[in-house]
Amino acid sequence: MVACWFHDPDSQHFKNHLPRLLDYLWLAEDGMKMQGYNGSQLWDTAFAAQAIVQSGMAEEFETFLKRAHHFFDITQVREDTPGGMRYYRHISKGAWPFSTRDHGWPISDCSSEGMKGSLAVQTLPFKCFDNKISTERFQDCVNVSLSFQNPTGGWATYELRRGGAWLELLNPSEVFSDIMVDYDYVECSSSSVVALKQFQKLDPDHRKEEISTAIAKGIKRIKQLQREDGSWYGNWGICFTYGTWFGVEALVAVGETLENSPELQRACEFLLSKLRDDGGVGENYLSCVNCEWNDSKEPQIVNTAWALLSLCKAGWRDQEPLERMAQFLMRSQESSGDWPQQLISGVFNKTCMITYAAYRLVFPIWALGCYRMRILSGHFGN
């Protein structure tokens, strides 16, 4: 917009930008805020849909899932950017963006979570949507996902890794870390692996060998990213509870269990080591900045939900700590059904924190639902 204004303040190109400024503003409990995107609509909707389905509440919230499915349908990117190769744009046909179709940029984890959310709804035993997203469109998403995998086996965000870490010496920013190269991230790698694994159930023959190889390489890379203490560093959420949840999801998706996976065992032991007497878990933004665990003053609802969700997915059999976590989440819920907004829970590039207002709702629901479905009912594992 600034470039258009500099070129010609009276141009139609500049005027076309003005109405879209409102897309970046939102009114929170503590005042007006400016976003780095035009929202996180797809991201939040994908998590919410999976939370409802995996919590066993699909029939009760059929209307919500029908509307979510419609949003998945209209938000998928249906064509590549014109002249994309000329401008070094990655393929985008079949991807899902972070927010809306207008945003349009293909992102590895958003594409995967979009596919996971869509498949979660479409595989329900009752019809809660008008038109299914075709297998061919999911194939397009898989093609994007496979194209995003780095030779290391991991996935970055917007592009393949195109240089070494030495390029960070040229980082012109005084604020952000690790912005010169797109690195392998546990979150992107996990989302991609899980989505590819789920797609295999829908269409076992599409690029069969490539998908199997990609999953195996992805799991190997995820294990390499695990830290000595059993955790994974969270690059897009605060912090180790977030990253560890993604690591656990990937391992469970490929059939690893506490009995055959030392990585899964260590991850669970790490999370349990952070459990407080009141059943809560909490870390603050300094975990991201310092790359080591920093306790929050008060236990955090979202961190606790990520920890409980991880332990439930892994099938941790000692119910006592899980019960304490579940009780903490239930005690923290307000009479309205909401949970209070606590410390900020999102981050990018280690130093810039992001508010995800939906997290305080989505993840406690998901964690409690998973606890009810998997632990109380005895359905351990995936």
Active site residues: 109
18 and 72 both lie in a single domain = no
Domain annotation covers residue 26: yes
Residue 160: per-residue pLDDT: 94
- Residue 320 corresponds to which tokens in the numbers above? 């006592």
Domain annotation covers residue 270: no
Residues near 324 by beta carbon (within 8 Å), at least 6 away in sequence: 275, 278, 279
Residue 128: per-residue pLDDT: 60
16 and 82 both lie in a single domain = no
Residue 381: per-residue pLDDT: 46
54 and 108 both lie in a single domain = yes
Its pTM stands at 0.94
58 and 129 both lie in a single domain = yes
Residue among 191, 293, 296, 196 nearest 247 (CA)? 191
Domain annotation covers residue 133: yes
74 and 118 both lie in a single domain = yes
**Range of the structural domain that residue 2 is part of:** 1-34
- Give SS3 for 153: coil
102 and 8 both lie in a single domain = no
88 and 170 both lie in a single domain = yes
- CA dist 368 and 330 (Å) reads 8
Domain annotation covers residue 79: yes
Contact 39, 99 (CB under 8 A): yes
Per-residue buried b or exposed e for 180-200, using 16+ beta carbons within 10 Å of the residue's own CB: bbbbbbbbbbbbbbbbbbbbb
Domain annotation covers residue 134: yes
Last residue of a domain, one of 207, 225, 243: 225
The DSSP symbol for 67 reads: H
Q: Check residue 296 and give left, alpha or beta (phi > 0: left; psi -120 to 50: alpha).
A: beta
28 and 65 both lie in a single domain = no
24 and 83 both lie in a single domain = no
Domain annotation covers residue 1: yes
- Residue 356 corresponds to which tokens in the numbers above? 């995800």
Domain annotation covers residue 213: yes
Residue 375: per-residue pLDDT: 77
Distance of CA 50 to the CA centre of its chain: 11
* Per-position DSSP letters for 268-289, written without gaps between them: HHHHHHT--TTS-EEE-THHHH
Domain annotation covers residue 325: no
Which amino acid, residue 17?
A: H
- CA dist 270 and 196 (Å) reads 27
Residue 129: per-residue pLDDT: 64
- Residue 209: CB atoms within 10 A of its CB come to 7
Residue 170: per-residue pLDDT: 93
209 and 149 both lie in a single domain = yes
| CATH number of the domain to which 53 belongs | 1.50.10.20
Helices and strands counted in the chain (H then E): 14, 6
- CA dist 322 and 320 (Å) reads 5
* Per-position DSSP letters for 294-343, written without gaps between them: -EEEEEEHHHHHHHHHHHHHHT---HHHHHHHHHHHHHH--TTS-----S
**Residues of the chain predicted below pLDDT 50:** 381-382
